[in-house]
Amino acid sequence: MKLPIDLMHGKPLMDDEDGNRATLPVFVASLEERLKTVHEFARNRLLLTSDRMKMRLDVKPGQNVFKEGDAVWLYQPQREKGLSLKLQRPWEGPYLIVKKINDLVYRIQMAPKAKPKVVHVERLSLYRGKDPPTWRLQEAVRGEQS
């Protein structure tokens, strides 16, 4: 936008890195070069951070390996309104692993007639309680007796 002052005195010249007055094309070229340098630096840092995150996740592959019949906790970080976050339980369960779909995905079920859920292994933790749910074993025994 041209202002009246621009019409009276012309466009102001920009200062370059050395403090000298530069013409507009020189300033634009200088600015473009600096922006390219900053962009390249940011891209390299993002790649470095991405590689670090991948290394951290790949340190212990198979750390959470469960088998069918294991009792597990399910991480559900949903908040309830009106209740302090400290007082809420983010872990549900115990669930039983019904089927291992692949190395990262499992089908779990809370009770015999409950709808099974398909969840990622990172949302599961091994249940170490005194009495794990045994409804699956009881169903198998009933099936053998019939």
Chain segment 79-96, per-residue pLDDT in tens = 788 888 788 888 988 999
**Which pair of structure tokens corresponds to residue 55?**
């290394």
Chain segment 1-32, per-residue pLDDT in tens = 777 777 766 665 655 556 666 677 777 888 89
DSSP at 81: T
Chain segment 27-56, per-residue pLDDT in tens = 788 889 999 999 999 999 999 999 998 887
Give me the pLDDT at residue 141, please.
47
Work out the burial of residue 72: count CB atoms within 10 Å of its CB; fewer than 13 is exposed, 13-18 middle, 19 or more buried.
Answer: buried
Give me the pLDDT at residue 40, please.
94
Give me the pLDDT at residue 11, please.
62
**Which residue from 101, 96, 90 is spatially nearest to 72, judged by alpha carbons?**
96
Give me the pLDDT at residue 20, please.
64
